[in-house]
Chains A and B, each alone.
Chain A
Amino acid sequence: MTDLRVHISKTTLKNPILTASGTFGYGPEFEPYLDLNKLGGFCTKGISLEPRPGNPGIRIVETASGMLNSIGLENCGSRVFLDETMPKIAHYDTAIIVNFYAYSEDDFVKLAAVLSENPRIDALEMNLSCPNVKQGGSAFGADPKLIESLTAAVRKVTAKTLIVKLSPNVADITLTARAAEAGGADAVSLINTLVGTAVDRRTRRFILGNKVGGLSGPAIKPVALRMVWQTAKAVKIPVIGMGGIATLGDVLDFLIVGARAVQVGSANFVDPGIAQTLAEGLDRYLAERQETIDQLIGSVQE
């Protein structure tokens, strides 16, 4: 077996394959289909201070090689998550990355502080980029100044590895990535979903209850790959890449352009065992080529 370990600040991942928030539940949902201990880690469903019911109406619609979702960050809230969910997932021998979001700086800070008290949580992923909540993440997600001050405020209350998840719905993602770095983030992860919509031409209504949703799946991979490449060149902190990863080839592409780790997203819906398959595939690929993971990462020729 190849040494696939990568480091995201002080968090060591046993391999660079993570699963993306919102596509992997809280973890146990996938137990019948894979061995979670074989993953580098997993990102939980986004947690808010209080429980949220999510958006009403139709929440997902398939598009060409992808899907739009407008779940609206439905989640059990931080109290239930820490008291009831964490004990059920604490035993996994893999990194637990808790994705979290709020509607104000105060709440971001409060939530980060509460989550940081749990010793089992390896890293926090701050969601500044959900397109599906009105006052929510994306209001913060486009303004570099806000990102920097918010990251700095959260940085003060947590010693955990702090990952800032960035929105692709900006003119220049390197500006928001640099802002997160300046605010003290240990890593950035990108891309979150691209804002899109779909209409039912028969009824002439929007299909999604929320009208707009986040586009994910293989359709967005070229955009994601470009943004990850640009960001990896623009910041010194590790970049975690995601966006349409569905095959080993996709994993390799993101690592080659400079991602230190990757997140598998909506492909988990198609094949709930895929994250383990990809981790094993990466192991075989490197073993066959007698290449190290560090040689692979950022190996793109410009």
Chain B
Amino acid sequence: MQRSIVTKIADLMQVSNDAFLLAAPFESEPLPGQFVMLSFGDGRTDPFLPRPISIFDWEGGMLTLLIRVVGRGTLLMAHQAVGMPVRVTGPLGNSFPDEAGRVFFIGGGIGIAPLYYAAKRSHAKNKAFILGFRSAEESYLTDDYLKVADTHFVSDDGSLGVKLFPHEKLDALVKAGEKPDLVIACGPEKMMAAVHEVAKKHGIRDIHSLESRMGCGIGACLGCRVQMPGASVLVCKEGPVFDGSIFEEKK
């Protein structure tokens, strides 16, 4: 059930230079791939708008969000403390498909956030992460992901895992005989487009989670519409999860 409530921060933990985990009680159980709108719950009007945040985990009524500091709003949120009120609206949007066979969860940077819960809930017989970071120093939560599934780390400088881009790792795994039935990707748009190219080449179904600026998250403001190569989409309502064909020019 969707709801909008003021809840209190139960845990706040910095996991890297610019990323933190925020946990708060939230009863509605989300589906993997859904997101929430998060704002300050103390009545302040600056920052004004809520931020769309993907769901890192949900367990027994406790919602955990993995947030990267990208601007003033997320910086101020990172400086909150346990016990401070936050408003959470959700869970919102559509969800990742489940698949019984082999599934790869491919994330780049903060795009890894929704993949933890997705993999945890996945019924795939065989699941693995491909997680890309700039460097070992800028990586986070690597042990947590390892607990959920086999994890292939890649990094821009080779300081973590191998020096490859996530889509190159996917290609290598397929060529090594580990062709998945489904890939679920979230990260920079360029990364997702590259993953799509590889998936398409090998005839693999690929699903992606898009990001957009949002005002409301519930389809009211129409602020999050983005023009993708394949279609113009309202990310909050029609997504955030889309088929890889969205990266292909519409003919």
Contacts and interface: CB of A to CB of B under 8 A. Distances in A.
B1 interface: yes
Contacts of A61: 213
A105 interface: no
Given A29-B218, A69-B221, A71-B222, A270 B213 contact: no
Interface in A44-69: 45, 53-54, 56, 58-67, 69
Contacts of B47: 62
A22 B222 CA distance: 8
B73 interface: yes
A33 interface: yes
B223 A71 contact: yes
A269 B45 contact: no
Contact of A22 (B1, B43, B221, B225): B221
Contacts of A63: 48
Q: Which of B2, B89, B224 has the most CB of A within 10 A?
A: B89
The size class of the interface chain B forms with chain A is 20 to 34
Contact of A266 (B3, B46, B73, B215): B215
A218 interface: yes
A273 B216 CA distance: 12
Given A32-B1, A33-B4, A217 B45 contact: yes
A67 B218 contact: no
A246 B46 CA distance: 12
A59 B225 contact: yes
Interface in B140-186: none
B216 A62 contact: no
Most chain A CB neighbours (cut-off 10 Å) among B2, B39, B221, B223: B221
B221 A272 contact: no
B215 A67 contact: yes
B225 A74 contact: yes
Interface residues of A, number: 37
Chain A interface, DSSP helix/strand/loop, else mixed: loop
Chief secondary structure at chain B's binding surface: loop
Contact of A25 (B39, B73, B213, B220): B220
A74 B222 contact: yes
Interface string B40-55: 0001011111100000
Contact of B219 (A29, A56, A59, A67): A29
Contacts of B218: 25, 29-30, 33, 272
Nearest to B216: A269
B232 A66 contact: no
B4 A66 contact: no
Residue among A54, A266, A269 having the largest count of chain B Cβ atoms under 10 Å: A269
B3 to A, nearest CB: 7
B87 interface: yes
Choose among A22, A23, A59, A273 the residue with the greatest number of B CB atoms under 10 Å from its CB.
Answer: A59
A269 B50 contact: yes
Interface in B21-77: 39, 43, 45-50, 73
Contacts of A117: none
A169 interface: no
A74 B215 CA distance: 15
Nearest to B73: A62
A81 interface: no
A65 B220 CA distance: 20
B37 to A, nearest CB: 8
Nearest to A246: B45
Nearest to B92: A32
A270 B50 contact: yes
A271 interface: yes
Contacts of A247: 43
Contacts of B221: 22-23, 60, 69, 71, 266, 269
B48 A60 contact: no
Most buried by A among B49, B50, B89: B49
A108 interface: no
Interface in A9-40: 22-25, 29-30, 32-33
Given A32-B3, A67-B215, A74-B222, A269 B46 contact: no
Contacts of B227: 56
A268 interface: yes
Interface string A256-284: 00000000001011111100000000000
Contacts of B2: 32-33
A54 B225 contact: yes
Contacts of A64: 46
Contacts of A272: 4, 89, 216, 218, 220
Given A22-B221, A69-B215, A266-B215, 7 more contacts: A59-B223, A60-B215, A62-B73, A65-B48, A218-B45, A266-B48, A266-B49
8 contacts: A33-B4, A58-B213, A60-B213, A60-B224, A266-B48, A266-B49, A268-B220, A271-B87
